[in-house]
Structure 1
Amino acid sequence: MRNIKLTVAYDGTDFHGFQAQPHLRTVQGELEQAIRKLTGEPVQVIGSGRTDAGVHAWGQTVNFLTSSRIPVEKWPLAMNANLPPDVVVRDAQEVPESFHSRYDASGKVYRYQIDRGAVPDVFCRRYAWHVPYKLDLERMRQAAGHLTGEHDFTSFCNAAAPIEDKVRRVDQVAVEEQGNLLRITVQGSGFLWNMVRIMAGTLVDVGRGRIDPQQIPDILQARDRKRAGVTAPAHGLALLEVHYPTHKL
């Protein structure tokens, strides 16, 4: 058996998330259907993580086992000919059979986009949260600094999450301007359910003066979802990259 790793981009607007669900359109479902058309095999696609409904990706990583002899460099073209236009395979690589997209991931990069225009930008409506209020970027950057490092992120996790260990390492939280767009880029070892969206929503509350930047350490320490800010809408979030140790590839 061969283990094929794909780098996949998708517009999450019309999907019920990444993970396959009965009778619902999902990214995993579309990928598995395309592979089945190409190989005749009922494969299981393993993703690096489950993006929620409406969340996008530029660099989602998946892998699957196949006995197909399709040359690895032909996989992107072959897959894209059998995928809908809102899912694109950007790259393919043959990896060791032991490689696992989820368990071997050493880090991820997400980006959250905010449209700060007085009126919504119609061309950003699927990819940015419209926040037509003045935001204090310096305050947001101060707060972002408090979110870096290793912390228990219970306050920044969906309260319904079943995971008990909510300690994660965040390496960088950058707040950058590009015209009317504000981009919050978060890099870390891994992320909890809704964690980046809650971080983005909290930073917007900081920018609007609703939360003081110096409150962030106390919010983390509280381990209470109610202490952090709003959960930003899904459509502003995109998974940019998934990182792996070179010895795993």
Structure 2
Amino acid sequence: MRIRIDLAYDGTDFKGWARQPDLRTVQGELEAALGSVVREPVAVTCAGRTDTGVHARGQVVHIDLTPELLTAVAGRYEGLPTDALVRRLNGLLPGDIRVARAYVVPDEFDARFSALWRRYAYRIVDSVELVDPLTRNHVLAWPRALDIEAMNAASAPLVGLNDYASFCKKREGATTIRQVTELSWRRQSDGIIVGTVVADAFCHSMVRSLVGCLIAVGEGRKPVEWAEEVLAGRVRESAVIAAHGLTLEEVGYPADEDLGARLAITMNRRTEDELDG
């Protein structure tokens, strides 16, 4: 029985998502809580492995449990067994992780490979009057004013199916070709600048590298055309901006009947031939 779990966390005090020996991670805390509830080891698969200091409102994971184990978790709880699982997990998890919901999904569902898109937000304040110490762990305080129109103009050529090698920490055997469907900036009524990035997937440090590049344009250190030149160069040269302004907001999935087809697509490694097409 496959179960989807939606959760949120404040990444400030975690060494990223992925389990690491002797380090506090989100996966480590969640698997420990699941093991206590189920009384046996439970491995989780997530939609996106967030880096150290990155937050999430819409992280998705899946686990596999037998019906018997889920029934045992529910005990005398009168609601759905998955609701009992949520209650028991939140009773054990630390305050910087909360499970929002859990429910049974088709066996073809995979939190990572079934995803159609991930949406991240990066938050910045560029005026000393707007810096709020209560949000210092979630909003980047930038010392110079940013030109949102210039950042949006520089962002436009970065949208599409591209090789984002210039914005990624390369991993052996992994492709850096991604489909970015949105990269935009807006200033909220409270003055906070929010950058939204949506893509089918992201490679390591890609969002923070994109943000670093566009901030350089926004403060006038680089011309608008520079971002497109960096992309075309396929050589990493933009700075990776601080992690704490970044939040995984949402992950989108296909309808249940399309899960199998989606899995076949994402398991097929992309090549440069697609770019030529």
TM (norm. structure 1) is 0.94
2:267 counterpart residue number: none
Q: What amino acid is the match of 2:44?
A: V
Q: 2:151 aligns to what? A: 140
Q: Is 1:115–1:121's contact at 8 Å kept on the other side of the alignment?
A: no
Larger C-alpha radius of gyration, 1 or 2? 2
Counterpart mapping for 1:43-192 below 5 A: 43-67=42-66, 68=69, 69=71, 70=74, 71-118=81-128, 120-158=131-169, 160-178=170-188, 179-192=190-203
Q: Offset of 1:96 from its aligned partner?
A: 1.7
Counterpart-to-counterpart distance in 2, 1:168 and 1:55: 21
- Structure with more helix by fraction: 2
Query: Judging changes above 3 Å, is the alpha-carbon distance between structure 1 residues 153 and 163 closer, same or farther for their aligned structure 2 residues?
Result: farther
Q: In the alignment, residue 56 of structure 1 is paired with which amino acid?
A: H
Letter in 1 for 2:148: L
Q: Which residue of 1 aligns with 2:249?
A: 240
Equivalent residues, number: 245
The range that moved more, 39-48 or 212-221, is: 212-221
Distance of 2:63 and 2:13 partners within structure 1? 24
Q: Is the Cα–Cα contact under 8 Å of residues 41 and 66 in structure 1 kept in the other structure?
A: no
Partner of 2:212: 201
Using the TM superposition, give the Cα deviation of residue 128 of structure 1 relative to its aligned residue in structure 2, in angstroms.
1.1
- How far apart in 1 are the matches of 2:28 and 2:45? 11
Q: Deviations over 1:99-127 (max 9, x none)?
A: 21111111100000112221632012100
SS at match of 1:209: coil
User: If the length of structure 2 is used for normalisation, what is the TM-score?
Assistant: 0.85
- The structure-2 alpha-carbon separation of the partners of 1:13 and 1:163, relative to structure 1 and needing over 3 Å to count, comes to farther
Residues of 2 paired with 1:194 and 1:59: CA distance? 18
Instruction: Give the conservation status (yes or no) of the 8 Å contact 1:7–1:61.
Output: yes
CA displacement at 1:78 relative to structure 2: 1.6
Q: Relative to structure 1, is the Cα distance of residues 163 and 199 closer, same or farther in structure 2, using a 3 angstrom cutoff?
A: farther
Cα 1:47–1:174 shift into 2, 3 Å:
same
2:268 aligned residue: none
Q: Structure 1: which 5+ runs fail to align?
A: none
Q: CA RMSD in A?
A: 1.4
Structure with greater proportional strand content: 1
Q: Which residue of 2 aligns with 1:13?
A: 12
Percent identity among equivalent residues?
Answer: 38
Contact 1:115 1:124 in 2 (8 A): no
Match of 1:22 in 2: 21
Deviation at 1:163, TM superposition (A): 4.6
**SS state of the match for residue 123, structure 1?**
helix
**Structure 2 spans left out of the alignment, 5+ residues:** 75-80, 261-277
